Amino acid sequence: MGSPRGWVPGLHEPDGTVASDLQSETDRFVKAGARPDVTVVLPFYNPGASALRETVCRSAETLSRTGVTFEIIAVDDGSTDGSSDALQGVLTGTVRTLVLPQNRGKGYAVRAGMSEGRGRFVGFIDADGDISPEVLADFVAATAARPDIVYGSKRHGTRVNYPMSRRLSSWGYRRLVKVLFRLAVTDTQTGVKLVRAEVVRDALPLMVEEGFVFDLELFCVAHELGFDDWVELPVPIEKRLPSRVSLSSVISISLDTLAIFWRHRARRGTARSR
């Protein structure tokens, strides 16, 4: 007989329940009321119950193996498939679910989750399955030197199973970002990052983007505030994404990117005039 869907070795017993040793460790940590080392936000919109539960459980198992204390905040961005119900009873006290009343976009969901985070590092990983939660171990290890941001990049010859139209659009967007912002970062958009809590505290109130370009805005605002200690880690992207990129999406992302540029320029002008 096979294991239940969403079952993760080490985290689950054969009957699908959370392993007692990990739950006991979680309970002791929660009772102590200590500040966690790491907060990971998982934004999601209609991912399917089993896929969501598996991503959350694999993330928890990976973080537990690193030896850090942690919390996971799963942010339901107005899902209509009832997927958040799958998280009921999963590592109570460590996994929290924040349900937004309507779909606002990934950026809004991540900001909502990060604003609730208590960790010394607060970050996020996409819950859509493109990025393996096991990469979190390397990201946690990189926080030992206390950089401002640890971010993932697919620009390392890692496995990227993108159709040609996505490759071309990604290349074009990277060129646009390089020309407009001249940031010392090769890939702003790969969906996994850990950010030092002090950076989150100062940057989040200045951020307004609700969609795809949230990540770019994070780098821009951090740079404006002098938080430039960034660590890049390779991340494999294995899931094949839809081959079509709609014109409306391209226009929307381009306009949002230009809006960040003008806000960034306006703040620099204001700072110089003081």
Written as one string, the DSSP assignment of the chain is -PPPTT--BTTB-TTSSBPHHHHHHHHHHHHHTPPPSEEEEEEESS--HHHHHHHHHHHHHHHHHHT--EEEEEEEES-SS-GGGGGTTSSBTTEEEEEESS---HHHHHHHHHHH--SSEEEEE-SSSSS-GGGHHHHHHHGGG--SEEEEES-SS--B---HHHHHHHHHHHHHHHHHH--S-S-S-SSEEEEEHHHHHHHGGG----STTHHHHHHHHHHHTT---EEEEE--B-SPPPS---HHHHHHHHHHHHHHHHHHHHHHHHHHH-
Domain-located, residue 1? no
**Better-predicted residue by pLDDT, 104 or 250:** 104
User: Which one is predicted more confidently, 123 or 172?
Assistant: 123
| Residue 247: domain span | 20-273
What is the sign, positive or negative, of the torsion defined by CA atoms of 152, 157, 163, 166? Answer: positive
39 compared with 186, residue with greater pLDDT? 39
**Is 233 contained in some domain?**
yes
* Predicted pLDDT of residue 239: 59
Mean pLDDT within 223-232: 96
- As given in the structure block, the two tokens for residue 191 are 């969906």
Rounded Cα distance, 163 and 132, in Å: 19
Query: pLDDT tier at 5 (50, 70, 90 boundaries)?
Result: very low
**229 lies in some domain:** yes
pLDDT tens digits along 100-130: 999 999 999 999 999 999 999 999 998 877 8
Region 223-244: mean pLDDT is 81
Do residues 224 and 182 lie in contact, with contact meaning Cβ atoms separated by under 8 Å? no
- The rounded mean pLDDT for the chain is 85
Give the number of domains in the chain.
1
Q: Which of 29-33, 131-135, 161-165 has the highest mean pLDDT?
A: 131-135
175 belongs to a structural domain: yes
Whether residue 57 lies inside any domain: the answer is yes
What pLDDT is attached to residue 43? 97
CATH code at position 47: 3.90.550.10
Nearest to 41 by CA among 107, 134, 88: 107
The answer to whether residue 256 is domain-embedded is yes
Is 227 domain-assigned?
Answer: yes
Q: Across 115-129, 169-183, 234-248, which has the greatest mean pLDDT?
A: 115-129
Give the mean model confidence (pLDDT) for residues 233-259: 78
Q: Kindly indicate the confidence band of residue 220, based on its pLDDT and cuts at 50, 70 and 90.
A: very high
Distance, in Å, from the CA atom of 126 to the CA atom of 263, rounded to the nearest integer, reads 26
Q: Looking at residue 251, what is its pLDDT?
A: 87
Please check the confidence at residue 175 and state whether its pLDDT lies above 60. Answer: yes
Residue 15 belongs to a domain: no
pLDDT digits (tens, 9 = 90+) for 39-72: 999 999 999 999 999 999 999 999 999 999 999 9
